[in-house]
Structure 1
Amino acid sequence: MRPVRDAARDRGAATVWVVVVMAVLGVICGAVLAMAQVVVARHRAGGAADLAALAAADRWEEGSTGACAGAARVAQEQGARIVRCVVRGEISEVTATSRAGPFSATISSRAGPPTHDP
């Protein structure tokens, strides 16, 4: 004689597994979205720092104040803000920061004329 399987013992087991799998997928999706916000903040800060450094280097003749004011406007248009701006001669060094959600990124960039090694 075959033993009779108790059907009541297995009732609801699939529901528990579905809930566990959905919770794990929710955590994974949350982590992916957080990583995407970090990448957005980093790219926004990097692009703003590069463009602001170019803007400051282009306006070096106006002095540090004028060049950095132009760099700040460019960074603001990119959704970032200038943390540091230094203009020495034709070379500018700019540090920009940007936020995306709870995350922020700070990137530095330098721009100026190319150097020629004889």
Structure 2
Amino acid sequence: MSTFLESGRLPSLLAWARRSRRTSTPNHRLPRADRSARSARSARSARSDRGSATVWAVGAIAALCAVFGAVLALGQAVVIRHQAAATADLAALAAADHWMKGSEGACATAERVARAQGGRLVRCEVEGEISDVTAASAIGPLTAESRARAGPPGPAALASGQEARWSAS
């Protein structure tokens, strides 16, 4: 080792070793000029990536919120549709039950039932014992309409083209 020190070749050999291991050498072991260049490069790349995870996280959260909002709106639409169908069914049954009051009396009863259900009566027709009712329900900007018919399954239903659901024995 003394021959290397005396010949002056050891510092040049160490400099060559440092240059060849530059990528795996820690920053504090590099010469001062190489250290500043390396730290400037890493600082630039760190600055360009700084905050990118936050941007990705905000984007993912926004996408999840949009999907969640769409699912909620779809669920609300289904609830409104079911509410309109139930309102129409009950109003049609009420009108068919009060057919003897005449068309106006039966439709007034259907209107009361529809309002009690939180909906409104759009159309009401009573022909004999058969009532045909259209009701609507609304929550916020969404509105749904549903139609229902009610009446006895006897000869009046057969005259309108529907099958009888019972048989005489």
CA drift of 1:7 comes to 2.6
Considering Cα pairs closer than 8 Å and 6+ residues apart, tell me whether 1 or 2 has the greater RCO. Answer: 1
Find the counterpart in structure 1 of residue 23 from structure 2. 2
* Structure 2 alignment gaps of length 5 or more: 1-21, 25-37, 155-163
Report if aligned partners of 1:95, 1:109 keep a CA contact under 8 Å in 2: yes
Amino acid at match of 1:91: I
Q: CA deviation at 1:29?
A: 1.5
* Conserved? CA contact 1:51–1:74, under 8 Å: yes
SS of equivalent to 1:22: helix
Give 3-state SS (helix, strand or coil) of 1:114's partner.
coil
Relative to its length, the structure with more strand (as a share) is: 1
Q: Where do residues 32-111 of structure 1 align in structure 2 (5 Å cutoff)?
A: 32-111=71-150
Q: Quote the offset at 1:39 in angstroms.
A: 1.1
Percent of counterpart pairs with the same letter?
A: 56
Whole-Å separation in 2 of the counterparts to 1:39 and 1:101: 13
Q: Secondary structure at the match of 1:68?
A: helix
Instruction: Note if contact 1:37-1:101 (Cα within 8 Å) is conserved in structure 2.
Output: no
Greater gyration radius = 2
Distance of 1:16 and 1:2 partners within structure 2: 30
Query: Offset of 1:49 from its aligned partner?
Result: 0.1
Q: Give me the CA root mean square deviation.
A: 1.6
Q: After superposition, what is the alpha-carbon deviation per residue over 1:8-53, rounded to whole angstroms, capped at 9, x for unaligned?
A: 2321010000110111111112111211221121111100000000
User: For the residues of structure 1 that align with 2:103 and 2:88, how far apart are their CA atoms?
Assistant: 16
Distance between the aligned counterparts of 2:64 and 2:106, measured in 1? 49
Q: Deviations over 1:68-88 (max 9, x none)?
A: 001011111111000000000
Residues paired across the two proteins, number: 118
Is there any run of 5+ residues in structure 1 with no aligned partner, and where? none
User: Among residues 128, 153, 161, which one is paired with 1:114 in the alignment?
Assistant: 153
Aligned to 2:59: 20
Moved more, 31-40 or 72-81: 31-40
Structure 1 CA distance for aligned equivalents of residues 129 and 121 of structure 2: 19
